[in-house]
Structure 1
Amino acid sequence: MWRTLGKEGLAVRAPWPVVDEEDKLLTRQAKFLRDALKTFRTATGKAKKGWKTATILVANDYPQWKIDALLWMQSKYNGGFQDSTFMKDLKTWAAENVSDKKKVKLTMQFVSFMKREVEDVGEMGMDTTCSFDQSAILNESIAYIKSQLSLEELSIARVEDAESVPDKICQNVTPGKPTLWLR
């Protein structure tokens, strides 16, 4: 078989293959689909009996308060974050720039989550818009998603284009975190 592949010598003496550098964007896209499907399964498990129609809602942009937090993070990033002062600096920044106390807490939680994301995927974790086409990835996998969730009807829509979606559901949609709207 080794010779059929056009190789010479013995396969056991051949050097180990060299792996290309990880494509962080491709890894992020795969994680997006895997995590979305996991979230969708949970949602269908909690759905009312007989609900077989669903729409996957995606968003390309964050709300302004999250964009502000991401821009602050970008200003603090220099190949990594100064862990010793990061949270203290965040607390100071949030106190000065976020007016609502509830939003301060949400900002702290959001930045903490995004910091871990940046540690996993690199600087692109702080992008203020989604760095890949979520709808395209979901559309390519729509037959698989329908079969996994036992849905009769499934569509994909941008949250800003979707009509009659309850506000409570719309608020959960952010870039890279689609939401399944069952009915």
Structure 2
Amino acid sequence: MSKSTGNFRTLKQAIEEFSSDATRFALADAGDGMDDANFVFETANAAILRLTKEIAWMEEVIAAESSLRGGPPSTYADNVFANEINIAVKETEKSYNAFMFRDALKSGFYDLQLARDEYRLSCGSAGMNRELLGRFMDVQTRLITPICPHYAEHVWQKILKKEGFAIKAGWPVVGTPDPTLRSANKYLQDSIVLMRKLLQKQESGSKKPKKGAAAPPAENKLTVGLIYVNEHYDGWKEQCLRVLQSNFDSQARSFAPDEEINEALKNCFIDRETNFKQVQKLCMPFIRFKKDEARNVGPQALNLKLPFGEIDVLKENLELIRRQLGLEHVEVLSAFDGAARAKAGRHGPVLDKNPPSPGEPVAIFMSKEEFGAQK
């Protein structure tokens, strides 16, 4: 029954209208736990299109197999995609064991599709890895088998040319997921999104020519990006984290009362020539954010640096950043390197007004001519 429309379909009607697998897909997506199930007709119709498109994509990949990159997975994008496959298998297994079919569909199909699409964009000119795509198709087929068995058997036998039946193929065997690699990739993707928004804002904010006036010269186009990174919390943020570290129970994932934290924080700044109330206004939002994060992920959220090297991650993906932002030249620089800061030229005050911190790099964009003048 569909709560949104107040209508229902008999089993025979649903199969005739949507097919058995699309009906099962929508039933799995209808809801888990104690929530009222809601069979959404649009989900069933969308499932037909999704599954059909996936079959077409697999056929295209196998037909163009010779053009894919050979050898074992080796690039950063390969490792991230392989890790996402491992995570999908583990999370989907937990969901099936708990009879949470909607969660299983999310991790075993939707999330896996998103990871594949992101991998396709990240590879660029290097191309996707043949072995890794084969593994993806194999794993995705096995994960969706309990929900869409007819689709899975068609893919298994007709497209992947596997022996036997998908339903008897067994659960995929994968390695241990790497949460640090997943965090590093999220940091990379989030940074690219923020830098793209900043670049678009700077480009749209530049003076537009008046009606009838000549367009600005092409050499003023922003084609160079300088990304400044600070991998270590310092200043008042460092003091806040040290106070939180000393007032955190890692076993219970709980903090000391706010009064004790505020008193400890006050003692950190009492001997300094500063107005504690002003510092406190800066500290409180940061402390609340870090307390929530520590409760969710544990004491590592209170470390003074991220569990991965930010500069290494960004440098390893320079080509991706350059392509995603449409730039000609990109550099990743340390915010503490005097020579590196000098490259910012007249944009230097931006680094003082909005200094980078762990997880929050600062990008400066300029024209190729302006960058050349800084050298």
TM-score tier (shorter): 0.7 to 0.9
Residue aligning to 2:365: 182
The partner residue of 1:168 within 335, 345, 350 is: 350
Asked if 1 retains the 8 angstrom alpha-carbon contact of 2:229 and 2:356, the reply is yes
1:91/1:173 CA distance change after superposition, 3 Å: same
Deviations 1:108-165 (A, max 9, x none): 1111122233344432221112321111111121111111111122111001112234
| Paired residues of 1:91 and 1:108 also in contact (CA < 8 A) | no
Unaligned runs of 5+ in 2: 1-155, 207-220, 367-375
Secondary structure of 1:52's match? Answer: strand
Residue 261 of structure 2 aligns with which residue? 90
Seen in structure 2, the aligned counterparts of structure 1 residues 64 and 159 have a Cα distance that, compared at 3 Å, is same
Q: Which amino acid aligns with 2:294?
A: V
Q: Which residue of 2 aligns with 1:29?
A: 184
Query: Where does residue 69 of structure 1 map in the other structure?
Result: 240
Provide closer, same or farther for how the CA distance between residues 145 and 53 of structure 1 changes in structure 2, counting only shifts above 3 A. Answer: same
The share of aligned pairs that are identical, in percent, is 27
The answer as to 2:219 corresponding to 1:47 is: no
Cα 1:98–1:108 shift into 2, 3 Å: farther
Which residue of 276, 281, 288 maps to 1:112? Answer: 288
Q: Is the Cα–Cα contact under 8 Å of residues 24 and 121 in structure 1 kept in the other structure?
A: no
Match of 1:153 among 329, 336, 344: 329
Gaps of 5+ in 1: none
- CA-based RMSD: 2.7
TM normalised by structure 1 equals 0.81
Q: For residues 119 and 14 of structure 1, what CA distance do their matches in structure 2 show? A: 40
Q: Which moved more, 1:93-102 or 1:104-113?
A: 93-102
Larger mean CA deviation between 23-32 and 111-120 belongs to 111-120
Aligned residues of 1:56 and 1:155 also touching (Cα < 8 A): yes
In 2, the alpha carbon distance for the partners of 1:24 and 1:76 equals 26
Q: 1:16 to 1:86 in 2, by over 3 A?
A: farther
Change (3 A) 1:8 1:59: same
Q: Give SS of 2:249's match.
A: coil
- In 2 relative to 1, CA 14–152 (structure 1 residues): closer, same or farther, beyond 3 Å? closer
Return the letter of the residue paired with 1:78.
D
Matched, 1:133 2:309: yes
Deviation at 1:86, TM superposition (A): 4.4
* 1:23-73 residue CA offsets vs partner (Å, 9 max, x unmatched): 221222112112111110111011145222110111122223222211111
Q: Which has a greater percent of helix?
A: 2
Tell me if the contact between 1:66 and 1:107 (Cα under 8 Å) persists in the aligned partners.
Answer: yes
Task: Give the distance between the partners of 2:257 and 2:177, measured in 1 at CA.
Answer: 28
Given the two structures, how large is their TM-score scaled by the length of structure 2?
A: 0.43
- 1:93 corresponds to which letter in structure 2? A
